[in-house]
Amino acid sequence: MNPFTPTFGTSPPLLVGRDGDLADFREGLQGGPGSPERATLVTGLRGTGKTVMLNAYEDVAGEEGWLVISETATPNLIDRITHEHLPRLLSEIDPRQTESHLTGVSLPGGFGADREVSARHTPRPGLRSQLNLLTDLLAERGGGGVLITVDEVHRKGMNDLRELGTTIQHAFRERRNVAFVGAGLPSAVDDLLSDEVSTFLRRADRRHLRTVRPEEVAAAIAVPIREAGRDITPDALQTAVAGTGGYPFMIQLVGLHAWRADSAAATIDVDQARRGVDQARRKVGQLVHASALADLSDVDRSFLAAMAHDDGPSRMADIATRLGVDATYAGQYRLRLIAAEVIEPRGHGLVDFTLPGLRDYLREHAASSHWGPEAALPPVERPALPGVDQERRQLPGPPDNTGGRGLPR
């Protein structure tokens, strides 16, 4: 069976390059309340492994005897934690005590006026009271704590995150065994933190997921292949590793397609690895670049389209010319895109793509869109500092599922 998992949120056969973060987190749990890792924020571009890191953090917590609440920052987050997760955990660890605490009243008759009266005077168990009860019970039992993970942290979930943050902060002050790990795109997290969301999140330990080093990529590809009963030649492994660019999602894609190139062969050779890389490059666009581009603004995308003209690193001067803007204007977008980690500086006045295959994807997309390859790029005689509407009309836009109308961004 093919061991690789190029699917968002699915833990890889071998998670590489993250041991340090996980070891720190384990120490944070062992170290007691006050350890900085007990409030952690994981950031990274799409496909760098945020969700699978949350899985891994949850596994560490489980190994340390902690209970886990695994959530996503969608509407009604607090509701779900308060009315689903916490009651479930409470009844799991102490059914008897939970009943008396949570139900609070035995309702005479169970229906009608009696019930209404009782219900009105029975405080509905809230987030904080239940978290306190749960941590008290755990302390009585002699250990463990509660880890809450929240994926896809975003400004839209701000109110819930603020409330959760305040509650966890109280728990910290009371030296309860509680930990929090959130994950989100760097831009979404920065956006969230720029608001008065809570000092709690702002002070959280930031863990930024980057590309993985070649030795680690080699292990992530070779070990699962060998464990699944096949082998890969050193040359083929080198080809495969180079083809991933260290990008976690690509590790799984290249692994999967190198394996598939000839699944009857006992050993994967260079030719199969090469075909695997080609196939992975074709797939990564639909799977990752489409959503990565959708996260960006129109001007960001036109900047990238202007870069895609070059076969290697692009000169800033050329980009400005192609966009028809002055150097200062282009420089601002350069900084934005570097901060978003879509591009990186390469020596004097040069920038290059960070995501492997994005250049090809942009070229293909430009070629296949109804604007055609030339029209997909903004005209050269474009005035400096154009208004938003102008930007919108001139853009290639993200991959087009809209029948050529472009996305309404």
Q: Which residues bind ligand ATP (CB under 6 A)?
A: 5-12, 15-18, 44, 46-52, 185, 212, 220, 248-249, 251-252
The number of angstroms, rounded, from the C-alpha of 391 to the middle of its chain's C-alpha atoms is 28
What's the closest the beta carbon of residue 263 comes to ligand ATP, in angstroms? 19
From the list Mg ion, ligand ATP, none, pick the one residue 396 interacts with, judged by a Cβ distance below 5 to 8 Å according to partner type.
none
Looking at the Cβ atoms of 46 and 301, the one nearer to ligand ATP is: 46
**Is 169 among the residues that bind Mg ion (CB under 5 A)?**
no
Question: 179 with 204: CB under 8 angstroms?
Answer: no
For residue 182, the partner it binds in Mg ion, ligand ATP, none, with Cβ less than 5 to 8 A by kind, is: none
Positive or negative torsion for Cα 88, 90, 96, 99: negative
Nearer to ligand ATP, 73 or 343 (CB): 73
Smallest distance from the beta carbon of 189 to Mg ion, in angstroms? 13
51 makes contact with Mg ion (CB under 5 A): yes
Contact between 378 and 366 (Cβ < 8 Å)? no
Least distance to ligand ATP from the beta carbon of 107, Å?
44
* Beta-sheet pairing, 267-268 with 231-232: parallel
CB 302 within 8 A of CB 323: yes
Could you tell me the smallest distance in angstroms from the CB atom of residue 44 to Mg ion? 9
Residue 157 binds which one of Mg ion, ligand ATP, none, with CB within 5 to 8 A depending on kind?
none
CB 304 within 8 A of CB 314: no
Q: Which is nearer to Mg ion, 50 or 283 (CB)?
A: 50
| 66 contact, one of Mg ion, ligand ATP, none, CB 5-8 Å limit per kind | none
Q: Could you tell me if 282 and 336 are in contact, meaning their C-beta atoms sit under 8 angstroms apart?
A: no
Instruction: State the nearest-atom distance from the C-beta of 268 to ligand ATP, in Å.
Output: 18
By beta-carbon proximity to ligand ATP, the closer residue of 60 and 220 is 220
Residue of this chain nearest to Mg ion (CB atom): 51
Q: Is 177 in the site for Mg ion (CB under 5 A)?
A: no
Q: Considering CB distances under 5 to 8 angstroms, the limit depending on partner class, which of ligand ATP, Mg ion, none binds residue 249?
A: ligand ATP
Torsion over CA: 51, 57, 59, 65 (sign): negative
The residue among 50 and 257 lying less far from Mg ion, judged by its C-beta, is 50
In the complex, what is the shortest distance from the CB of residue 149 to Mg ion, in angstroms, rounded to a whole number? 12
Task: Give the type of residue at 176.
Answer: R
10 Å CB burial of residue 329 (0-12, 13-18, 19+) is middle
Q: How far is CA 97 from the centre of its chain?
A: 38
Return the HEC string of 354-401.
Answer: CCCCHHHHHHHHHHHCCCHHHHCCCCCCCCCCCCHHHHHHCCCCCCCC
- By the criterion CB under 5 A, which residues form the site for Mg ion? 50-51
